[in-house]
Structure 1
Amino acid sequence: MKTQTKDTKRQILAVGRRLTAQHGYARVGLNELLKAADVPKGSFYHYFPSKEAYGCALLEDFIAQYRQALTETLNDTTRTSRDRFLAYFEDWKRKQTGDDLQDRCLVVKLSAEVADLSPDMSRILNQGVDSIISALTHTLQEGMSEGSIAALKDPNNIAKSIYYQWLGATLVSGLSCDDTALDAALRATQMAIPPA
């Protein structure tokens, strides 16, 4: 029974992520979600007392998966810290311009929407962003220690600036339907993190 419970909840979250990536959070109705997930309404409310609670679980699940992928990229011992740092953003560009909408960053997709809808969802997104910036800062510090990155005056501020630049570039790329902004962000990132 526990496996079925986990599977049903996982199914709702997986289908919800796909629909949210396609349409945004507010535009995905409960009936549409349940029909696509092939789950009865009672099952949804068994796992999530409200759509907001579901939204929080959706974001927590996304951030957990994102952290796992981030950890794999930033802990790849076959590369220098600088190469790992740049690989994270190269992968970001690839996912944002790829055909699979589920690969795209929900932080970008939902930031404006969630800020107006739910303080709890905003808090989850903020904590996710903070953890990403912390991991990026740590990679910059490792790079300076190992000698793959030149000395940086304030690694945390640089990590924040670069991450925020990528959020903005992703929005512009979505508006313009091309990757010019992401290409510019990648060049700026490469220049901001000079090799030692």
Structure 2
Amino acid sequence: MPVTARTTDTRRIILDTAQQIMARKGYSAVGINEVLAEAGVPKGSFYHYFASKDAFGEALLKSYFADYLADMDRILAQPGQSSAERLMTYWQRWRETQSVEECQGKCLAVKLGAEVADLSESMRLALKEGTSAIVDRIERTITSGLEDGSLSVDDDPREVAQALYDMWLGASVMAKIHRSLAPLDTVTAVTRKLLHP
């Protein structure tokens, strides 16, 4: 196997393993050795793939958002559905991933957002870039919904998109605190009122 392919594969294995562990435990509670042991990668290899734990955290978030955005793009591009249907499918998918007992790596922005934003500027910027890309996609879908007549909003599509994302992020945190889906049910109802699908 070419060295570059092996390097990419091993790097990806480390990132995927870390995402699963950190979705349960958080960033600070997880040591590099735990990730490497779980990934089956020798201890000494870490610095071959990442310059520091900070660089590793940034790479982890960028990898997470790349996967998340690709999945979001698939949902929002479903043929044969109105923009409203695609956007409500996205929110339903969000609810489903947040309702899994341990989130299984699907909610890294929720789990790590507040924790790492104060620890590392590069990780904060990776979070900002990733979450802004999500809001961009929500805004585009709202705009498309206004054009196809499947949605109606009372404010600027960007402001509505940002408000919706902020509400869903907050509801996800509250669902964890209360160990209840009630906050996600509430935000689903509010989303319908804001979008008038």
Question: Is residue 153–residue 194 contact of structure 2 (8 Å, CA) maintained in 1?
Answer: no
CA deviation vs aligned residue, 1:36-57 (integer Å, no higher than 9, x gap): 1111122111010111110000
Question: How far apart are 1:102 and its partner, in Å?
Answer: 2.5
- Residue of structure 1 in register with 2:180 after alignment: 178
- Name 1:134's counterpart in structure 2: 136
Name 1:149's counterpart in structure 2.
Answer: 151
Identity %: 37
CA shift at 1:156, angstroms?
0.7
- Residue 66 of structure 2 corresponds to 64
Following TM superposition, by how much is the alpha carbon of 1:147 offset from its aligned partner in structure 2, in angstroms?
A: 1.2
The superposition leaves residues 61-120 of structure 1 with CA deviations (integer Å, 9 ceiling, x where unpaired) of 000001100100111122100011111111000010024522432111111111221010
SS at match of 2:118: helix
CA RMSD of aligned residues (A): 1.2
Residues 154 and 194 of structure 2 are in contact (CA less than 8 Å); yes or no, is this contact kept in structure 1? no
Q: TM-score normalised to the size of structure 1? A: 0.95
Give the number of equivalent residue pairs.
195
Q: Determine the C-alpha separation between the residues in 2 that align with 1:23 and 1:56.
A: 17
Q: What's 2:195 paired with?
A: 193
Aligned to 1:168: 170
Residue of structure 1 equivalent to 2:57: 55
Corresponding residue for 2:111? 109
Q: How many angstroms apart in 1 are the aligned matches of 2:168 and 2:85?
A: 17
Query: Which letter maps to 1:184?
Result: T
Question: Which secondary structure state, in structure 2, belongs to the residue aligned with residue 27 of structure 1?
Answer: coil
The 8 Å contact of residues 63 and 128 in structure 1, kept in 2 or not, is answered as yes
CA contact (8 A) 1:96 1:103 kept: no
Cα separation, 1, equivalents of 2:12 and 2:163: 34
Deviation sequence 1:98-143 (CA, Å, 0-9, x none)? 2452243211111111122101000010111111111100100001
Which 5+ residue runs of structure 1 have no aligned equivalent? Answer: none
Q: Unpaired runs of 5+ in structure 2?
A: none
**CA pair 188-110 structure 1, distance change in 2 beyond 3 A:** same
Q: Which runs of 4+ in 1 moved over 4 A?
A: none
TM-score scaled by length of structure 2: 0.95
- Counterpart residue number, 1:13: 15
Aligned residue for 2:24? 22
Alignment pair present for 1:122 and 2:87: no
Distance 1:15 1:103 in 2: 9
- 1:12–1:37 Cα contact (<8 Å) kept: yes
Q: Is the 8 A contact 1:74 1:139 kept in 2?
A: yes
| C-alpha distance in 2 between matches for 1:41 and 1:53 | 17
